[in-house]
């Protein structure tokens, strides 16, 4: 078994002691952290987004911080600032919460465009600039940004450039009845105790080794062509205002490799690309207003694209 599979399977198994029926989300978020990809998490409050992030960080033995975005949050609240020390008569660097391996940015669309741009630099360059001084961020570095798809009043929609920086989008839903009953039986206190008892099960070296394995997964020319045709068709779809970018195509390829490796294969098949398409592309497909009014969604468009593009034969 690959290191990649062992890491992900271990995290999924251990996290189930704390989280109820969140395995799929744990898999996808762990995939992203291994390749230092950023995750956009959509969901209403109270569905364990923060607990999921903290649980994964703890199991991976990575530092964790949380930023609660508000309309008045400043870039310095995120990246840090320089404080004058009267004793030394010098300015000291105070790093902000962005300086962690895993940073949960709650309600990112409530932050002003100025604060969002500070986050964009960190996500894009993996470094921040504080009063002219450049500070490298730790490795691995992943931003998990949440937004509530229902409450949009007083928010600043993420610009296309920032959306494209996210490796995947995860839409976390509420629990089904059976899962909710399981949660109720456990109770809040039991979950808190289980979280406190969690121990790290992965070393940073294993994370970097897992990433190396992903890059070594074989991809046939027919798969490259399949991805290119999916991207091309997404841009030609009548409902699409802005389709998948070349960066989006690369992210789709990487996620397909991760699905292959998780399925204990060292080569990509078309099903890996299909499985990767919704999380890798749904936030990259922006629709025309008239089609949104008709009830179209990015997910529907991607499903239509996948149904129209010919699947390569073995």
Report pLDDT digits (tens) over 202-212.
988 999 999 99
Q: Which among 54, 62, 56 is positioned nearest to 31, based on CA atoms?
A: 56
Instruction: Please tell me the distance from the alpha carbon of residue 55 to that of residue 26, in angstroms, as a whole number.
Output: 9
Domain for residue 65, yes or no?
yes
Residues 169 and 57 reside in one and the same domain: yes
Residues 84, 165: one domain?
A: yes
CA–CA separation, 188 and 249 (whole Å) = 41
| Residue in 132, 160, 167, 151 with CA at minimum distance from that of residue 41 | 167
Mean pLDDT (whole number) for 251-261 = 99
177 and 59 share one domain: yes
Q: How far are the Cα atoms of 141, 142, 163, 262 from residue 65, in angstroms, in the given order?
A: 11, 11, 21, 28
What is the CA angle 156-160-165, rounded to 5?
105
Which percentage of the chain shows pLDDT scores above 90? 78
Let me know if residue 96 belongs to a domain. yes
180 and 70 assigned to the same domain: yes
Of 179, 207, 235, the last residue of a domain is 207
Q: Which two tokens stand for residue 177?
A: 């009845």
Among 151, 172, 207, the domain boundary falls at 207
Reported residue count of the chain is 314
The total number of structural domains in the chain stands at 2
Cα 72–chain centre separation? 25
Domain hosting 66: range is: 3-207
Euclidean distance between CA atoms 28 and 246, whole angstroms: 21
Same domain for 146 and 189, yes or no, is: yes
For residues 271 and 164, state if they share a domain: no
3-class DSSP assignment, residue 123: helix
Looking at the chain, the whole-number percentage of residues with pLDDT higher than 70 is 99
pLDDT in tens, 108-127: 999 999 999 889 889 999 99
Q: Which residue has the tokens 């991805």?
A: 227
pLDDT category at 92 given cuts 50, 70, 90 is confident
Tokens of 274: 């299909």
Q: What's the pTM value of the predicted model, to 2 decimals?
A: 0.94
Residues 30 and 133 in one domain: yes
């Amino acid at each position: 078994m690959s290191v990649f599979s062992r890491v992900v399977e271990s995290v999924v198994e251990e996290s189930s002691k704390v989280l109820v029926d969140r395995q799929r989300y744990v898999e996808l978020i762990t995939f992203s952290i291994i390749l230092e990809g950023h995750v956009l998490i959509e969901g209403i409050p109270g569905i364990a987004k923060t607990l999921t992030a903290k649980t994964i960080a703890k199991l991976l033995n990575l530092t964790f911080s949380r930023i609660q975005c508000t309309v008045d949050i400043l870039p310095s609240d995120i990246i840090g600032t320089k404080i004058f020390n009267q004793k030394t008569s010098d300015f000291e660097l105070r790093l902000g919460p962005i300086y962690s391996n895993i940073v949960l940015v709650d309600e990112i669309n409530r932050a002003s465009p100025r604060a969002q741009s500070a986050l964009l630099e960190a996500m894009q360059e993996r470094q921040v600039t504080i009063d002219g001084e450049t500070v490298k961020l730790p490795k691995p570095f992943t931003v998990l940004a949440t937004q509530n798809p229902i409450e949009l009043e007083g928010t600043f929609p993420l610009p296309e450039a920032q959306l494209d920086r996210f490796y995947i989008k995860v839409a976390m839903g509420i629990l089904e009845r059976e899962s909710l009953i399981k949660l109720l039986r456990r109770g809040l206190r039991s979950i808190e105790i289980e979280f406190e008892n969690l121990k790290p099960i992965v070393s940073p070296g294993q994370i970097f080794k897992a990433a190396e394995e992903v890059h070594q997964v074989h991809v046939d020319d027919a798969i490259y062509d399949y991805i290119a045709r999916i991207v091309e068709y997404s841009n030609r779809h009548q409902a699409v205002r802005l389709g998948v970018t070349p960066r989006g195509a690369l992210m789709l390829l990487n996620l397909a490799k991760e699905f292959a490796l998780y399925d204990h294969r060292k080569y990509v098949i078309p099903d890996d690309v299909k499985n990767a398409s919704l999380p890798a592309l749904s936030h990259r497909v922006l629709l025309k207003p008239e089609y949104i009014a008709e009830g179209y969604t990015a997910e529907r468009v991607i499903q239509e694209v996948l149904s129209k593009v010919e699947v390569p034969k073995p």
